[in-house]
């Protein structure tokens, strides 16, 4: 099975509950579409767990991007700004020994994904943090290690024009589903469940950020369960 979740934001208990709920097996694949860190209290615990799993593939979100640009001295304001909630992650990061801090950075640079395409049966899945990136090959953070600001718009894009340009693509040969997080679904449909918008060109956009960042008593962590033939079998949720 293939599982997809996003925007865990330091909510380790919800993450751990979802891992138990899906009963993740070695032959399964789990894609996490960024924003693992910040806001919640246990960002690094989630990150450490992901780093130990060979079948979990993490994408770069805008919060991981803020962490990297802060530590590289490229942007010393955004990570700690207001609701971005980076300070608690930074304080936990500073408590780690030098080798552990280096392992975290190496993982974020060398292993995280910006965009990936999956061909499953007669369906095409395009995964990213924002769905702002439509064209181009599969992309990895390591390609941008020396030019982090180049990908800022990709991981931050909240423009409706960018997401909904999907509907202006030409007719697709395969049914094409763009899966992303970043924008909590409550902003789109006043609901803490996934948001789906379909278009006439055989494309659909599915937003799976169901507000986990809001913490105990609010929002949910969502996870898509997809079989190898490309069928969405179930949407799983964890809340408090």
pLDDT of residue 159: 61
pLDDT of residue 163: 60
Q: What is the chain's length?
A: 240
pLDDT of residue 138: 82
Read off the pLDDT of residues 140-190 as tens digits, 9 standing for 90 and up.
999 899 999 988 888 988 665 556 688 888 999 999 999 999 999 999 998
pLDDT of residue 165: 81
What is the Cα Rg of the chain in Å?
17
Q: What is the CATH number of the domain that holds 133?
A: 3.60.21.10
pLDDT of residue 133: 66
pLDDT of residue 166: 87
In tens digits, the chain (240 residues) has pLDDT values of 999 999 999 999 999 999 999 999 999 999 999 999 999 999 999 999 999 999 999 999 999 999 999 999 999 999 999 889 999 999 999 999 999 999 999 999 999 999 999 999 999 999 999 987 666 778 899 989 999 998 888 898 866 555 668 888 899 999 999 999 999 999 999 899 999 999 999 999 999 999 999 877 889 999 999 999 999 999 999 998
State the sign of the Cα–Cα–Cα–Cα dihedral 233, 187, 161, 5: negative
What global pTM score does this model have? 0.95
pLDDT of residue 55: 97
Q: Which residue has the tokens 């962590």?
A: 221
pLDDT of residue 157: 81
Strand order through the sheet with 56-58: 56-58, 29-32, 2-5, 221-226, 232-238
Q: Give the range of the structural domain holding residue 147, as residue numbers without chain letter.
A: 2-238
What total number of domains does the chain contain? Answer: 1
3-state secondary structure of 88: helix
């Amino acid at each position: 099975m293939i599982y997809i979740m996003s925007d865990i934001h330091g909510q380790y208990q919800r993450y751990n509950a979802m891992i138990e709920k899906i009963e993740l097996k070695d032959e399964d694949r789990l894609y996490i579409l960024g924003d693992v860190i910040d806001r919640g209290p246990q960002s690094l615990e989630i990150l450490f767990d992901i780093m130990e799993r060979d079948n979990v593939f993490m994408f770069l979100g805008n919060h991981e991007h803020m962490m990297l640009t802060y530590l590289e001295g490229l942007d010393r304001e955004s990570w700690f700004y207001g609701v971005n909630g980076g300070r608690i992650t930074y304080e936990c990061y500073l408590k780690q020994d030098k080798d552990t801090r280096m392992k975290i950075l190496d993982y974020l640079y060398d292993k995280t994904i910006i965009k990936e395409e999956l061909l499953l049966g007669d369906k095409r899945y395009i995964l990213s943090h924002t769905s702002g990136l439509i064209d181009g090959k599969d992309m990895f953070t390591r390609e941008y290690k020396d030019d982090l600001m180049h990908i800022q718009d990709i991981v931050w894009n909240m423009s409706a024009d960018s997401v909904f340009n999907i509907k202006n693509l030409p007719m697709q040969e395969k049914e094409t589903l763009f899966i992303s997080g970043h924008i909590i679904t409550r902003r789109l449909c006043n609901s803490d469940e996934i948001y789906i918008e379909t278009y006439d060109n055989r494309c659909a956009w599915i937003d799976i950020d169901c507000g986990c960042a809001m913490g105990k008593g609010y929002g949910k962590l969502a996870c898509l369960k997809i079989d190898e033939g490309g069928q969405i079998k179930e949407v799983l949720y964890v809340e408090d």
